Amino acid sequence: MDFVKALSRTLAVSLVSFASCLAAEVPAQDSVASSPDIAFSHVAVSVQGGEIYPWGDLLDVVENSAYVGLGLRYSYWENFDGILHFDYTYFKSRIKDVPYPGVHQAMGRLGLDWHGRQLGPVMFGGGFTCNWTRADGGDDKDYDQPGGTLVDNETEFGYFVHLNVPFLKYDRVRVGLDVLWEELWTLPKRSNMLSAGFYAEWRLW
């Protein structure tokens, strides 16, 4: 299925990016560390879910939508964590003229979080996003119709900023709120979305 293949490709690209970052952090054998090795000294995985709110022109195009996803967090530098997220959502269309009821969207994000003393447990960060979208139905003959390009898949890039607010911690488990603003570099206008949800994170080491 095209949808399964696209999800697999998106996840594969995200994992390759993570592996590249990991390889880049391996120090040369003849180097002398002047400070404790921080990169990847801590790694955590998470599950997350919430709601996405379209913004601007998208308000007239799609409805609010629930999302679910997986995440990976790793120590990258002093006061900075690397983050890798993979989410999925289904947007129902508000436009009656399009030849399908909604669209599938897979979202991959790679970025950094800052957690300085000034913010306490709160983390602020951002990075790059890659969204893959496909119409739920329709065929090639609908390509010239409103929204018809989504019948043949679309991939959009952009950026995100977010605020991570942990409010519960027990041993290796942390639960919190994540609020995220995303802008996709679509044409002729940019596409913006706001999402808010909860996550449960488990620290592996």
Q: Residue 120 falls within a domain, yes or no? A: yes
Q: Is pLDDT of 24 > 70?
A: no
Q: Residue 9 falls within a domain, yes or no? A: yes
Q: Residue 179 falls within a domain, yes or no? A: yes
Average pLDDT, the chain: 82
Q: Residue 149 falls within a domain, yes or no? A: yes
Q: For 162-175, write each residue's pLDDT tens digit.
A: 999 999 999 999 99
Q: Residue 26 falls within a domain, yes or no? A: no
Q: What is the number of structural domains in the chain? A: 1
Q: Residue 141 falls within a domain, yes or no? A: yes
- At 152, the pLDDT band (50, 70, 90 cuts) reads low
Tell me the DSSP string of 77-133: ETTEEEEEEEEEEEEEB--TTSSSSEEEEEEEEEEEEE--GGGTT-EEEEEEEEEEE
Q: Residue 32 falls within a domain, yes or no? A: no
Please count the CA atoms within 13 angstroms of the CA of 43 that sit on its side-chain side: 8
CATH number for the domain that contains residue 163: 2.40.160.20
Q: Residue 157 falls within a domain, yes or no? A: yes
Domain extent, residue 48, equals 2-19+37-203
Whether residue 67 contacts residue 197, with contact meaning beta carbons closer than 8 Å, is answered with: yes
Q: What is the pTM of this model?
A: 0.76
